[in-house]
Structure 1
Amino acid sequence: MVELARAAGVAVVTLMATDAWERTREGVVALWRRASPSRADGVEGELDATRDDLLAARENGDDLTEQELREEWAGRLRRLLREQPEVAEELRRILAECDPDSQASGPTTVRMRAEATGSGRVYQAGRDQHITER
């Protein structure tokens, strides 16, 4: 459970800065609504505040704050799993749906480097790429 909570904390905070954030947020709030309804509204607000903190940290190059946010959410999720171990499968499902590459194992880093000389062109993409040249 500790490893799942750690991976989920990393994934949730990482997904805050992606297009999958709204879906992730909805899934995490729904999980809390089922497991601990009295805390769900507070968690919803905390997710939004954490996202604001994360975006500001990334803008300022503050890696320490980003790490602290991941640890904070890992702790919250660990406590939820300790209190309600039956939600572990649902948490795995939410993460798999929001970030299929994660499989609740943490983020993947992709680094691309290219160099073109003369009239050369470079096209790189982490996913779909459509190029129309005339």
Structure 2
Amino acid sequence: MDPIVLAAGTALVTAMATDAWQSARDGAIALWRRVRPEQADIVEAELVEVREQLLEARRDGDADTEQALVGSWQVRLQQLLRADPSLAQEIKRVVDEVLTPALEPADQERIGSLVMKATASGHGRVYQAGRDQTINER
């Protein structure tokens, strides 16, 4: 999945629980209107429903539901990007200018993308991690 889609899905769902929910919704709807305008009204209604599910999950301390909602919107955004690869810059703009600023600092740290590439030839080894890593070799 494209790293910008991962960031966008996380930022969108996280922003749904903030006071900037309307801006987050408007930013997401603008993406749909560009690629699939016939679905924009349906997506808008679904965003309202998902927001209610998110708020309920947070009240109940249900992190699994919240993560499932994030994953669902990541998949939907990936489908938009596949339909129109030029949309990547617009998704990034919405993440950077609309969604991320609406989040608390701790939530802003969760948003972003990490792209790691490694190459090894011969008998070389490559170790990479997005965070902690322990290597025990004998």
TMscore range, shorter length: 0.7 to 0.9
Moved over 2 A (4+): 106-109
Question: Which residue of the partner structure matches residue 65 of structure 1?
Answer: 65
CA shift, 1:101, in A, is 8.4
Alpha carbons of 1:107 and 1:71: their partners in 2 closer, same or farther (altered >3 Å)? farther
Matches within 5 A, 1:1-134: 2-98=2-98, 99-100=100-101, 107-108=108-109
- Structure 2 gaps of 5+ residues are 111-138
CA shift, 1:86, in A, is 1.1
Tell me if the contact between 1:33 and 1:39 (Cα under 8 Å) persists in the aligned partners.
yes
State, as a whole percentage, how many aligned pairs show the same letter. Answer: 47
Query: Structure 1, residues 30-67: CA drift from partner, whole Å, max 9, x if none?
Result: 11111111111111011111100000000001000000
CA shift, 1:97, in A, is 1.4
Q: Which has the higher helix share?
A: 2
Question: What is the CA–CA distance in structure 2 between the aligned matches of 1:54 and 1:90, rounded to whole Å?
Answer: 25
Provide the TM-score with structure 1 as the length reference: 0.73
**CA RMSD for the aligned pairs?**
1.8
Query: Structure 1, residues 54-99: CA drift from partner, whole Å, max 9, x if none?
Result: 0000000100000000000000000110111111111111111122
Query: Structure 1, residues 74-129: CA drift from partner, whole Å, max 9, x if none?
Result: 00000110111111111111111122488xxx7426xxxxxxxxxxxxxxxxxxxx
